[in-house]
Chain A
Amino acid sequence: MRLLEDNVLDGNAIGGMLIEVFGAEMTTAVGTCGVCGTRGQVAEMAVYQPRLGTVVRCRVCDNVLMVFVAMHGVTCVDLRGLDSLV
């Protein structure tokens, strides 16, 4: 598995935002990648924060799992890259 680049974070970094969006602690939630089937905790997912939004990717195949965009005071969430999140 390729190593993450220096500027990349992990799901720990968005713990507060996840509680705001989901109403619960989510860093230990397990997500299944919809492309490669890898299962892993949110805390260990690759998090990119280009300021346009937060992009969470699969460590193994780089598939986009979750995208959060804050617009006009609301955080929009897209989870289509995940098969499941429990």
Chain B
Amino acid sequence: MEGTAVRGRLTWQTATVGAVTDETSSVRTLSLVLPGWAGHRAGQHLDIRLTGDDGYQAERSYSIASAPGEPVAITVERLDDGEVSPYLTEDVQIGDEFEVRGPIGGYFVWDGDASDSVPLLLAAGGSGVVPLRAMLRHRSRIGSSVPVRLLYSVRSQAEVIYRSELSSPADGVEVIYTLTRKQPPGWTGYARRVDQKMMAEVAWPVASGPLAYVCGPTNFVEAVASDLVALGYPPQRVKTERFGATGTP
């Protein structure tokens, strides 16, 4: 059985916001101080719980943006009609507290050990890049040389999360963008929503036995996963994590 970082029941622990980084005008990374944290695997998520002074509580799940061994960080996108994301992306200050439980997830994980040393195809739709970024950082930290292609579908360059980090990827990592709504002058890259033709050009050949991780809004994941299976990827080699509906493409 694959190892997990979770044994038995999860408990809520208090997290303190240690640092705040604005990734884009609507996306922020919060680095957390979590003394009781037992460690995590790349791709896992955590649940957070906020409590208002009237006792009202709200819970949400966020992918862990940092690699195992780094301070726990989450990257949050502000949703216009959200209840929690506006608070986390606009109001939260260093020193603020909320509760966290985790890490959670044994399926959408990449450990980089011997069984995972096949070419990786990472496909991110919008904020789906978050757990994939954790995988990339983990790959660097463990000195892995598996070939990686990250296909990152995003509306415009201004909305690219982790832009400077992704503009100088590690050796063996290739980042391919598709800017679906607005492109800078002179852009020669993809400029449309993912489709089968794009996946055929970007995906590792099936013969190399690749592993694919697809994360983002449900319609993105459904399109990419079905395109990969149509290209011959065995379904069990296409791991998926769906974020539901998060606005228009």
Interface segment, one of A24-32, A50-58, A61-69: A24-32
User: Given the known A-B contacts A15-B45, A41-B107, are A10 and B10 also in contact in the complex, defined by CB atoms under 8 Å?
Assistant: no
Question: Is the beta-carbon distance between B245 and A7 smaller than 8 angstroms?
Answer: yes
A19–B86 CA distance with the chains assembled, in angstroms: 28
Determine if A13 and B108 form an interchain contact, defined as CB atoms under 8 angstroms apart. no
How many A-B contacts are there with CB distance less than 8 Å?
79
Tell me the count of chain B residues lying within 8 A, CB to CB, of chain A.
29
Query: In whole angstroms, what is the CA distance A24 to B9 when docked?
Result: 7
Residues of B within 8 A of A3 (CB): 219, 222-223, 226
CB-defined contacts of A43 to chain B, threshold 8 Å: 105, 107-108, 239-241
Q: Complex: how many Å from CA A22 to CA B223?
A: 32
Query: Residue on A with the closest CB to B102?
Result: A16
- List chain B residues, Cβ under 8 A from A19: 6, 9-10, 104
Q: How far is the CA of A19 from the CA of B4 in the complex (A)?
A: 12
Q: Mark B7-25, 1 if CB is under 8 A from A, else 0.
A: 0111000000000000000
A7 to chain B, nearest CB (A): 5
Given contacts A3-B222, A7-B218, A25-B4, contact A16 B242 (CB under 8 A): no
- A73 at the A/B interface (Cβ < 8 Å)? no
Q: Which residues of A sit under 8 angstroms from B245, Cβ to Cβ?
A: 6-7
A residues near B47, Cβ cutoff 8 Å: 16
A80 CA to B219 CA, complexed, in Å: 29
**Contact indicator B8/A23 (Cβ below 8 Å):** yes
Taking a contact as CB atoms under 8 Å apart, the answer to whether B242 and A9 are in contact is yes
Task: Please pick, from A8, A12, A24, A44, the residue contacting B105 in the complex, using a CB distance under 8 A.
Answer: A12
Cα(A7)–Cα(B218), bound, Å: 7
On chain B, the residues within 8 Å of A12 by CB distance are 45, 105, 107-108, 241-242
Residues of chain A with a CB closer than 8 A to B223's CB: 3
Is residue B144 within 8 Å, beta carbon to beta carbon, of the partner chain? no
Check if A6 sits within 8 Å of B217, measured CB to CB. Answer: yes
Does B106 have its Cβ within 8 Å of any Cβ on chain A? yes
B106 CB contacts on chain A under 8 angstroms: 25, 27-28
Q: Are A4 and B107 in contact (CB under 8 A)?
A: no
Contact of A13 among B2, B8, B61, B239 (CB under 8 A): B61
Best-surrounded residue of A3, A10, A12, A27 (most CB of chain B within 10 A): A12
B63 to A, closest residue via Cβ: A12
Residues of A within 8 A of B (CB): 1, 3-13, 15-16, 19-20, 23-25, 27-28, 41-44
Q: Can you give 23 contacting A-B residue pairs, CB < 8 Å? A: A3-B222, A4-B242, A6-B219, A6-B245, A7-B218, A10-B240, A12-B45, A12-B241, A13-B244, A15-B45, A15-B104, A15-B105, A16-B10, A19-B104, A23-B8, A23-B9, A25-B4, A25-B104, A28-B106, A28-B107, A43-B105, A43-B240, A43-B241
